[in-house]
């Protein structure tokens, strides 16, 4: 679904609520006043910039094509919520406050906002989850500027006074966060570009397709909102440690036992139960080259008779949308093939000939299918390992040297 670019908000409807980085708003007080002495409470950041990323028409409100309450501000404009609040039109407000509202500022059941309410585990938020969202009115110098709903620490949404359009605001991601986002989307086959650290059209398109897949809905927005739940599904955690120091959402506090895996992922990480059968693989040395070569042919035959299969992957746990599950026989053939390929790279044609029983029958080049392994750490769920689809690999045997 394509979003139109509208102009700036009029003062009657332009506004945006606050709340950003790492913790929730102070709900023990219905009004928070910000003056020149403003400083965020300890462990919370109620300041920062939000960018207007999307403007969408409400699906259930009749009206003309244009919304007269907007003029001259394109998507991509930013508001600042700091000691001085700055609106899209450049208006500044040194004395501003928020008052908590009992009801949402927008219709969260509108299908045109469905990407905002994707749950932690995929699918749509239930009623209890929606009740945890925060709804605020912003007041500047005693005048109400607008009502907003805070979806999470990243997303704010409001509607125009006419109710014809929704405005979605998002905290910008850092270059490093975008690179991680791109890498994860690429691993899941939603993105095929480079790790640029830029929120370009290719990345925006990949995010939108992933959001539709993860939320299991039919709409694909031109620019889906990157909510915290969406980032969690991609295993992209906020790198802004300065905002979260000492807060309940900091990495060290939420997952004190977490330790990253720094070693290479192997077949035994992927399938630990294969350890006994791996011990049956013949030793791959120069002296045993012929045994390893012949045995690889036997393993390849077993792999053909016992192929793996494609399954629908659990993307929420870092899997690809379509995940290949190799058989034990395929994994054994791949392991032996990798070892033999590594050995051949260290041997000359003369050494191979000397290791072969019958120099006149020096073996021909052969091939096999290998696998690459990766892991995804899903905070709160565990570590998950995945195998690639079979990768055809050729073992080049050097030709027998000609007699001089």
Indicate the pLDDT class of residue 41, thresholds 50, 70 and 90. Answer: very low
Q: What is the mean pLDDT of residues 33-57?
A: 58
Neighbours of 85 (CB within 10 A): 24
- Between 43 and 284, the more confident residue is 284
Instruction: Decide if pLDDT at 18 tops 50.
Output: no
Indicate the pLDDT class of residue 20, thresholds 50, 70 and 90. Answer: very low
- Between 145 and 341, the more confident residue is 341
Instruction: Decide if pLDDT at 336 tops 50.
Output: yes
Q: Give percent of the chain with pLDDT exceeding 90.
A: 34
Instruction: Decide if pLDDT at 389 tops 70.
Output: yes
Indicate the pLDDT class of residue 141, thresholds 50, 70 and 90. Answer: confident
Is 114 in a helix, a strand, or coil? helix
Indicate the pLDDT class of residue 15, thresholds 50, 70 and 90. Answer: very low
- Between 368 and 175, the more confident residue is 368
Indicate the pLDDT class of residue 62, thresholds 50, 70 and 90. Answer: low
Instruction: Decide if pLDDT at 146 tops 90.
Output: no
- Between 60 and 13, the more confident residue is 60
Instruction: Decide if pLDDT at 361 tops 50.
Output: yes
Place of tokens 């294969």: 274
Angle at 243 between CA 174 and CA 381, to 5 degrees: 80
Note the pLDDT of residue 14: 33
Q: What are the backbone dihedrals phi and psi of residue 244, each rounded to the nearest 5 degrees, phi first?
A: -110, 5
Q: What is the mean pLDDT of residues 22-28?
A: 32
Residue burial 378-389, b: 16+ Cβ < 10 Å; e: rest: eeeeeebbbbee
| H or E segment to which residue 395 belongs | strand 391-395
On the 0-12 / 13-18 / 19+ scale of CB atoms within 10 A, 172 is middle
**Max mean pLDDT range (20-24, 34-38, 137-141, 149-153):** 149-153
What does the pLDDT look like over 256-314, one tens digit per residue? 666 778 889 999 999 999 988 998 898 899 988 999 999 999 999 999 999 999 998 88
Note the pLDDT of residue 174: 86
Query: Taking the CA of residue 299 as centre, how many other CA atoms within 13 Å lie in the half-sphere pointing to its CB?
Result: 28
Q: Which of 11-25, 82-96, 196-210 has the lowest mean pLDDT?
A: 11-25
Indicate the pLDDT class of residue 403, thresholds 50, 70 and 90. Answer: low
| H or E segment to which residue 139 belongs | strand 134-140
- Between 19 and 116, the more confident residue is 116
Note the pLDDT of residue 117: 92
Strands 155-159 and 143-150: antiparallel
**DSSP bridge pairs for 156:** 150, 169
CA distance 397 to 344: 7
CA distance 376 to 247: 25
CA distance 374 to 301: 26
Indicate the pLDDT class of residue 64, thresholds 50, 70 and 90. Answer: low
* DSSP assignment letter at 27: T
Q: Give percent of the chain with pLDDT exceeding 70.
A: 77
CA distance 377 to 223: 27
Instruction: Decide if pLDDT at 71 tops 80.
Output: no
- Cα separations (Å) of 247 from 20, 22, 155, 251, 255? 13, 7, 19, 9, 13
In Å, how far from its chain's centre is CA 102? 32
- Between 10 and 304, the more confident residue is 304
Note the pLDDT of residue 138: 83
List alpha helices for 188-265, DSSP H: 201-215, 228-233, 241-244, 251-254
CA distance 325 to 387: 7
Interacting residues of 138 by C-beta distance below 8 A, sequence separation 6+: 15, 16, 17, 18, 85, 96, 97, 98, 144, 145, 146, 147, 148
Q: What is the mean pLDDT of residues 68-93?
A: 76
Tokens of 280: 């049956």
Indicate the pLDDT class of residue 249, thresholds 50, 70 and 90. Answer: very low
Note the pLDDT of residue 338: 95
Note the pLDDT of residue 373: 95
**DSSP bridge pairs for 375:** 385
Q: Which of 40, 12, 2 is nearest to 24 (CA)?
A: 40
Q: Which of 119, 113, 122, 117 is nearest to 312 (CA)?
A: 122
Instruction: Decide if pLDDT at 333 tops 90.
Output: yes
């Amino acid at each position: 679904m394509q979003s139109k670019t509208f102009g700036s908000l009029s003062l009657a409807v332009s506004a945006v609520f606050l709340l950003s980085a790492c913790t929730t708003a102070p709900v023990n007080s219905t009004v928070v006043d910000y003056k020149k002495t403003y400083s965020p409470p300890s462990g919370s950041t109620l300041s920062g910039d939000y960018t207007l990323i999307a403007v969408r028409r409400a699906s259930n409100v009749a009206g003309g094509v244009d919304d007269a309450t907007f003029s001259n501000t394109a998507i991509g404009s930013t508001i600042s919520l700091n000691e001085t609040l700055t609106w899209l039109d450049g208006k500044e407000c040194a004395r501003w406050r928020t008052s908590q509202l009992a009801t949402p500022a927008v219709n969260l059941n509108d299908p045109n906002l469905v990407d905002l309410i994707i749950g932690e585990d995929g699918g749509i938020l239930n009623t209890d989850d929606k009740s945890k969202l925060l709804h605020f009115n912003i007041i500047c110098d005693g005048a109400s500027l607008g009502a907003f709903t805070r979806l999470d620490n990243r997303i704010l949404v409001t509607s125009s006074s006419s109710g014809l359009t929704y405005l979605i605001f998002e905290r910008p991601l850092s270059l490093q966060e975008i690179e991680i986002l791109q890498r994860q989307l690429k691993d899941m086959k939603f993105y095929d570009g480079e790790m640029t650290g830029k929120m370009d059209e290719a990345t925006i398109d990949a995010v939108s397709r992933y959001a539709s897949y993860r939320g299991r809905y039919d709409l694909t927005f031109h620019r889906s909102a990157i909510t915290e739940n969406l980032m969690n599904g991609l295993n992209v955690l906020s790198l802004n440690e300065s905002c979260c120091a000492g807060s309940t959402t900091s990495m060290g506090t939420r997952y004190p036992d977490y330790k990253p895996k720094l070693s290479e992922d192997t077949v035994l990480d992927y399938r630990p139960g294969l350890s006994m059968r791996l011990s049956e693989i013949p030793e791959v040395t120069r002296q045993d080259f012929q045994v390893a070569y012949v045995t690889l042919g036997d393993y390849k035959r077993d792999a053909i008779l016992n192929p793996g299969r494609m399954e629908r992957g659990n993307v929420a746990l870092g899997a690809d949308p379509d995940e290949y599950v190799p058989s034990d026989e395929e994994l054994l053939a791949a392991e032996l093939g990798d070892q033999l390929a590594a050995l051949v790279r260290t041997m000359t044609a003369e050494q191979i000939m000397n290791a072969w029983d019958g120099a006149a029958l020096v073996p021909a080049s052969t091939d096999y299918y290998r696998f690459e392994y990766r892991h995804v750490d899903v905070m709160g769920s565990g570590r998950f390992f995945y195998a690639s689809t079979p990768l055809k690999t050729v073992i080049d045997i050097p030709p027998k040297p000609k007699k001089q």
